[in-house]
Structure 1
Amino acid sequence: MNLFRSMQVFVSTAQARSMSAAASKLGISPAMVGQHIAALEERLGTRLLNRTTRRQSLTDFGSSYFEQCRDILDRVAVAEQEAQVSQIDARGQLRITAPMTFGTEVLVPALGRYRELAPKVKLDIILTDRNVDLIEEGIDVAFRIGTLPDNRLIARRLAPYGMMICAAPEYLARNGAVDHPTGLSHHEIVAFTPAARSPWKLSRGNETVEVTPLQITSVNSGQAVRAAALAGLGVVMQPVVLLAPDVQSGKLVQLLPDWSLRQRRMSLLYYRDQRMTPRLRSFISFAMAEFGGPPDDQISERNEMSTGNL
C-alpha cells in the first residue's frame, strides 16, 4: 500500500479514535482503514493501536508515530500550498544573460520597472559578450544579438540593435572630417575585438559602400571602445544606446549621419522544452513590451550565432 496514504489514514483514525469515523471522513470503507493500519504495523514491526470493539487507542509507540506522521503531513500540506501559490504568483530566482553593453546601458536600467510588476522575483543577471549555453549554465532567458545557434531555442524578436559611427571633436580637429565612407580607411579605428576585422557596410539610397578599416586598435569591451573615442584615440562604431548620450552632449560627433549602417537582429531566447513558470512568463511579457520588435517574433533557426555581441 501507499505509505503516504496509510499515514493519512492512521492520523485520521488516531484523531477520531475510531476506524469507522475515520472511514467516513476519508470516504473509504472501515475494512480499508483496517488494511492501511495493518500494513503500517507490519512495516514498522509493532502495534500502533489498541483495538476494542468500540474504540481504538494509541500504543506508546503509536503516540510517538502519530506526532511524527502529523508533522510530516502538515509539512507536505504547506509545500503543496506554496506550490499552488507559485503557479499563479511570479516568485523565485530568474537567471538572465545579456551582452555587456546592452545589459549595462539598456536592460539593467529598465529592471526597476520589472521589479514593480514582479516584486517577489529574485534576479541573477549575467552580463557577458560570450555565447552562453543556456542549459549548461542554468540560464532561464537570454538576450542575444545575431542569429540562433540551434532549433531547440524559441526566439522572440526584439527591436533591431542600431549602430552609429562617432569620433571626438579633438580627434577630428587633428585628423580631418569624414565626408564619405571611403574616407574611413585613412583614419585610426578603435574596434570591439570580436568584430575588429569585419568590414563596415554603409548605405545611402541605392549606393552601398563596404569599408575595411586598416589602422585598428581592438578592445574587448564596448564601454572601453567608448572611453577610447572620448579620449580621442580614433573613430568607433558602437551601438546607438551607448554613444547617443555623448553625441547629444557634444562629447562625440556622429560621422556620416546620412548613411545607414546594417542593423543587427536582437532576440530574447529560451529553450523550447523549458517549463513556463509564472516568473519566466512575466519576464518575457515585460521584455517584449519594453524591447519588442516586429510582430513575427517567434522564429527558430539553425544558423551559427554571430560572434559580434556588443
Structure 2
Amino acid sequence: MDSAQLYRMLVFANVVEQGSLTAAADQLGISRSMVSQHLKKLELRCDAQLLKRTTRKMDLTEDGQQLYHHCAELLLLAKQAEETTRPQSKELRGRITLFTPICFGEQFITPYIGEFHQKFPKIQIGIQLDDRRINRLENSIDIAIQSEARQPTDSIFIKLGQFDEYMVASPEYVKQHGAPLHPDMLLSHQWLLHTDSYLPQSFLLKNSYGDKFTIKVPPFICCNSRHGIAQMVKQGVGIAILPSYLVAAGIAKKELTHILPDYHLNETGIYAMHPFNNVIPPRVKAFLDFIQYKMG
C-alpha cells in the first residue's frame, strides 16, 4: 500500500467524522474538490461505493461502514502519534464503544466508569447494555463482553474471570414451600427464569459424587433482566438460577437461601472480545487492563 492510499483513508475517516466534505476540507486544510477527488480514487481502489450523498445528508454504505471501522483507528493512531511529541498532550484520548450483558455491565462496568474517567479524562465511552447478540463489526464495537468462549474468526478474546450459577430463593419462600432436598423435588416449585418466553428450560445439575441430573422447568415468571429476577426472588415469588456475583452477598447476609448447595450448575467464563489483531489501540488496552484489574 502506497502513502497516497493511506492518506485517502485518512481523508475518508475525516469526512465521516466531520459529517461533510466541506467540514473535512477545513479540518485538513485542503479544498473541497480535493477531498472529493481523494474519495473517488479511494472508491475506485476499493471497487466499492463508500458514501451515499444527497443534497441533505450523507450516509455510509455497508462497505463504507466496514472500511470506516479501520480507517477511524488509523486516524486516531495518527493523532496519538503526533501528540507524543507534545509533552502537554500525552493523555490518551478517543472513543471506546462497549457492548456488555445488562447484569454484568451494571455489576462490573458502570460502577467504575467514574474511576476510569479520573484516570483517563479524555477518553469518551459509549456503553450498550443488552443481552442480545449483535454483529460487533457492523456496530463498530471496540469491546464486547460475553459469557461464552466461542471465538468468532474476526475477534480476539481475553478471559476476565469465571463465576458459578446458584439456585436461590428467599427464606420466606423456603419457609412457605419447603426446601428441596433432591433435584426431583424442584419440579413442583415456582420458577423465575431469564427468558422472553414461557417455554420450559433445561438445566444440568452435578453433585460431588459425579451424579448428574437434568431438570426441565417452565417459568412461573419470565424476565429479561437478571437484576429484576433477583429483586423478585427476594420478594418470595419463587426459585431462580442466577450468577454467583449477583447473589453471593445476599446469601452471606441471609437475604437469600442457596438451594441444593451440594449440587453444582454451570461454571461460566466471562470474556472480553475485540477485533484488533496485532496492535490494540492504547485507549482500548487501557480499558481492558482497568476492567481486568477491577475484577481481579
Contact 1:94 1:122 in 2 (8 A): yes
Matches within 5 A, 1:189-228: 189-193=191-195, 197-205=200-208, 206-214=210-218, 216-228=220-232
- Counterpart for residue 164 of structure 1: 166
Deviations 1:145-203 (A, max 9, x none): 12436211101112123211111112112211111222111101110006963322221
Q: How far did residue 248 of structure 1 move?
A: 2.5
- The one of the two structures with greater contact order (alpha-carbon pairs below 8 A, sep at least 6) is 1
Q: Which residue, 247, 262, 271 being the options, matches 2:266?
A: 262
Partner of 1:84: 82
Aligned partner of residue 168 in structure 2, secondary structure: strand
Instruction: Report the alpha carbon displacement of residue 238 of structure 1 after superposing the two structures with TM.
Output: 0.7
Deviation at 1:85, TM superposition (A): 2.0
1:289 paired with 2:287, answer: no
Which residue is 2:29 aligned to?
none
Which secondary structure state, in structure 2, belongs to the residue aligned with residue 161 of structure 1? Answer: strand
What residue number does 2:110 align with?
108
Letter in 1 for 2:290: F
- Against the structure 1 CA distance between its residues 194 and 159, is the aligned structure 2 distance closer, same or farther, given a 3 Å change threshold? farther
Residues 160 and 264, structure 1, Cα contact 8 Å, conserved in 2: yes
Partner of 2:235: 231
Supply the distance in 2 between the matched residues of 1:133 and 1:211 (Cα, whole angstroms).
33
3-state DSSP of counterpart to 2:268: coil
Alpha-carbon RMSD across the aligned residues, in angstroms, is 2.6
Tell me which residue corresponds to 2:187. Answer: 185
User: Which sections of structure 2, spanning at least 5 residues, go unmatched?
Assistant: 1-77
Instruction: Give distance in 2, aligned partners of 1:161 and 1:82.
Output: 37
Alignment: residue pair count: 214
TM-score, structure 2 length as denominator?
0.65
Quote how far apart the aligned CAs of 1:208 are.
1.7
Equivalent residue number for residue 54 of structure 2: none
In 2, Cα distance between the equivalents of 1:150 and 1:183? 40
2:7 matched residue in structure 1: none
AA aligned opposite 1:142: A
CA shift, 1:115, in A, is 2.9
What SS is found at the alignment partner of 1:130? Answer: coil
What does residue range 100-179 of structure 1 map to in structure 2 within 5 Å?
A: 100-148=102-150, 150-179=152-181
Q: Post-superposition shift, 1:222?
A: 0.9
Aligned residues of 1:106 and 1:241 also touching (Cα < 8 A):
no
Residue 133 to residue 215, structure 1, CA distance change in 2 (3 Å): closer
Say which one has the larger Rg.
1
Letter in 2 for 1:200: F
Report the identity percentage: 23
